[in-house]
Amino acid sequence: MLSTVIPIWMISWATEFWQFLVTGLFVGIAGGSFTVGIAYCARWFPKNRQGFAMGIFGAGNTGAAITKLVAPTIVVAYGWERVPQIYAILMLVTTLLFWMFTFTDHEHTAGSSKVTIKEQLEALKDPAVWRYSQYYSIVFGGFVALSLWMTKYYISEYGFDIQLAALLAAGFSVPGGLLRAVGGWFSDKYGAHSVTWWVLWVALVCLFFLSYPQSDFTIHTLSGPKTFHVGLNPTVFTILMFTMGISFAIGKASVFKYISDDYPHNIGVVSGVVGLAGGMGGFILPILFGALVDLTGLRSSAFMLLFGIVWVSLMWMYFAEVRPMSATQNSKHQLPVPAATLN
């Protein structure tokens, strides 16, 4: 975190595109602290409370929503340069607080770790790691992408000004971060699999309706042509986004509960890979959103893409988890035939 303070401040001096890219590269280092923090946080709690603990840690994603609300006001009042300057100061204060009020991880004291790097990387050969990466690419990557996309969507689709658009967009991003702790609690209570399964189904239903573009139909009747408009008004659209934001928040916690359950001694490496998938999703998806809008002319094509990704995730989960679990349960319910009846 400390290494990002100066680059963040330097953003306020940037005037060329390449300067934003260079400073942004250094700012991105802060994202690595999330992976470190997940592993650090999980080690201080018993297994049946790790989901809730990691959920509270991950609720820091709420900062993205707060930025959506506060940054436009700062830009209008003082100019955009003040935003990175204030953020740099907050980063420095956070770093100092972390240094003062946290402790050294007992697992990383001298000689405490006997797991080699090679043994840690063996986890990458496990197909489950890549499956969890797929889940996280939608619940986190989709969250990041839509958080970046929604303000512009409200402005372009409904004609709102930037402040109202940012406020409504926060209806998605606030629960997407704040309720992550609730997702951790659900995961501890009901299990990572069940929670993630239902999260993806809720997202799929929301995306089904969000994918439908604004349409006008003309029907030729006996009394003449009649035109009907089909589309989501801002209220229904915002409710669907709010619901999906809640599901993504819970899903972000449940995916990491998978990791703490399946890889208790290798949380750092596995969460790093899964977190990378989520970060790449947040980076690639907005680019794909823009490309699809240019290709189709439909702003809702972004939701069509997410619908397809969620569907793939559900199919993968069904064949890799749901179906084997059902087969195992059925085999347990089949009683053995007594030997006497075979004679």
Residue found by looking up tokens 């595109």 in the block: 17
Region of 217 on the Ramachandran plot (φ > 0 left; ψ -120 to 50 alpha; else beta): beta
pLDDT at 110: 47
What does the alpha-carbon distance between residue 246 and residue 239 come to, in Å, rounded to a whole number?
A: 11
What is the value of pTM for the model shown?
A: 0.77
Q: What's the rounded Cα separation, in Å, for the pair 10 and 41?
A: 31
CATH architecture, domain 2-103+119-325: Up-down Bundle (1.20)
What backbone torsions phi and psi does residue 76 show, to the nearest 5 degrees? Answer: -65, -40
For residue 248, what pLDDT is reported?
92
Which pLDDT belongs to residue 341? 45
pLDDT for the residue 199: 94
Residue pair 285/227 in contact (Cβ under 8 Å)? The answer is no
Q: Which pLDDT score, from 0 to 100, does residue 57 have?
A: 76
Best CA proximity match to 194, nearest among 312, 311, 321, 319: 321
Residue 91 parent element (H or E): helix 82-101
Token pair in block for residue 104 = 């050294």
Measured in degrees and rounded to the nearest 5, phi and psi for residue 216 equal: -120, 130
Neighbour count for residue 52 (Cβ, 10 Å): 21
Domain extent listing, the chain: 2-103+119-325
- CA pseudo-torsion sign 303, 304, 306, 310: positive
Sequential pLDDT tens for the chain (343 residues)? 888 889 889 998 988 888 888 888 888 777 667 767 766 776 777 777 777 777 777 777 677 667 777 887 888 888 888 999 998 999 899 889 988 887 776 655 544 555 566 766 677 788 888 999 999 999 988 988 998 888 889 998 888 888 788 888 888 877 777 788 788 888 888 888 899 999 999 999 999 999 988 877 778 877 878 887 777 889 999 999 999 989 998 998 889 888 888 887 777 778 878 888 888 888 899 999 999 999 998 889 999 999 999 999 999 999 988 888 776 666 655 545 554 444 4
pLDDT of residue 288: 93
pLDDT of residue 327: 65
